[in-house]
Chains A and B, each alone.
Chain A
Amino acid sequence: DVVMTQTPPSLSVAIGQSVSISCKSSQSLVHSDGKTYLNWLLQNPGQSPKRLIYQVSNLGSGVPDRFSGTGSEKDFTLKISRVEAEDLGVYHCVQATHVPHTFGSGTKLEIK
Chain B
Amino acid sequence: EVQLVESGGGLVQPGRSLKLSCAASGFTFSNYYMAWVRQAPTKGLEWVASITNSGGSTYYRDSVKGRFTISRDNAKSTLYLQMDSLRSEDTATYYCSLQFAYWGQGTLVTVSS
A41 lies within 8 A of B100 (CB): yes
**Bitwise interface map of A from 70 to 112 toward B, beta carbon under 8 Å scored 1, else 0:** 0000000000000000000000101010011111111000000
B50 lies within 8 A of A101 (CB): yes
- Closest Cβ of chain A to B76, distance in Å, is 22
**Docked pose: A48 CA to B96 CA in angstroms:** 10
**Docked pose: A70 CA to B17 CA in angstroms:** 43
Find chain B residues with CB under 8 A from A39 CB. 100
**Docked pose: A96 CA to B74 CA in angstroms:** 23
Find chain A residues with CB under 8 A from B106 CB. 48
- Closest Cβ of chain A to B103, distance in Å, is 4
A48-B95, A60-B101 are contacts. A106–B44 as well, Cβ < 8 Å? yes
Q: Which of A14-22, A27-35, A49-57 contacts B (4 or more CB under 8 A)?
A: A49-57
**Docked pose: A43 CA to B100 CA in angstroms:** 12
A48-B95, A48-B106, A49-B95 are contacts. A103–B101 as well, Cβ < 8 Å? no
A51-B101, A99-B59, A100-B59 are contacts. A105–B44 as well, Cβ < 8 Å? yes
B44 lies within 8 A of A96 (CB): no
A48 lies within 8 A of B100 (CB): no
The contact sample of 14 A-B pairs, CB cut-off 8 A, is: A43-B45, A49-B45, A49-B100, A49-B103, A51-B101, A94-B100, A96-B100, A100-B62, A101-B35, A101-B47, A103-B44, A103-B46, A104-B44, A106-B44
Using a CB–CB cutoff of 8 Å, the interface residues on chain B facing chain A are 35, 44-47, 50, 59, 61-62, 95, 99-106
**A-B interface, 10 closest residue pairs, ranked by CB to CB distance from nearest:** A101-B47, A48-B103, A103-B45, A100-B61, A51-B101, A99-B59, A106-B44, A39-B100, A49-B103, A105-B44
